[in-house]
């Protein structure tokens, strides 16, 4: 049962570490938008002035989030603010979020804790 103890302890530390690595290596901070038609964007640019939010030029803003493995075809780097990254969210699209990765990492770590507790309980005898 010492195997269960060590496997559980390893899982407790490995799950959050892997979540952090995945988020850092393959994640990208974006502003999720529902895109406007391509014909509407040039008209919105004419109406935009410096100091106003940039995202409404390209679509309706949903929220900021960290997306894991973003589709490069859905990323918009606006000319008005190159530091901003917009991500097109079309109907039925559900990008993998860092929040979801961390959710599963927590549950896996808790399962590792239970496994370690069982391994420790049976190793004492």
Residue 35 φ then ψ, to 5°: -70, 150
DSSP string, 56-115: HHHEEEEEEEEEES--GGGEE--SS-TT--EEE--TT--PPBHHHHHHHHHHHHHHHHHH
Give residue 125's pLDDT.
63
Question: What pLDDT sits at residue 38?
Answer: 86
Question: What's the domain range around 20?
Answer: 2-124
Model's pTM, two decimal places? 0.80
Per-residue pLDDT of the chain (125 residues; tens, 9 = 90+): 889 889 999 999 999 999 999 999 999 999 999 999 989 999 999 888 888 999 999 999 999 999 999 999 999 999 899 899 999 998 888 899 999 999 999 999 999 999 999 999 888 76
Distance CA 88, CA 76 (A): 8
Is residue 113 within 8 Å of 9, Cβ to Cβ? no
- Count the domains in the chain: 1
């Amino acid at each position: 049962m010492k195997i269960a103890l060590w496997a559980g302890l390893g899982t407790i530390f490995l799950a959050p570490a892997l979540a952090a690595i995945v988020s850092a290596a393959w994640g990208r901070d974006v502003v999720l938008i529902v895109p406007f038609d391509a014909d509407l964007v040039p008209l919105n640019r004419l109406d935009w002035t410096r100091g106003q939010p940039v995202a409404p030029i390209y679509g309706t803003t949903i929220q900021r989030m960290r997306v894991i493995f973003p589709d490069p075809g859905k990323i918009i780097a606006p000319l008005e603010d190159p530091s901003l990254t917009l991500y097109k969210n079309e109907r039925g699209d559900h990008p993998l979020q860092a929040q979801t990765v961390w959710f599963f990492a927590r549950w896996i770590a808790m399962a590792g804790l239970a496994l370690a507790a069982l391994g420790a309980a049976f190793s004492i005898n």
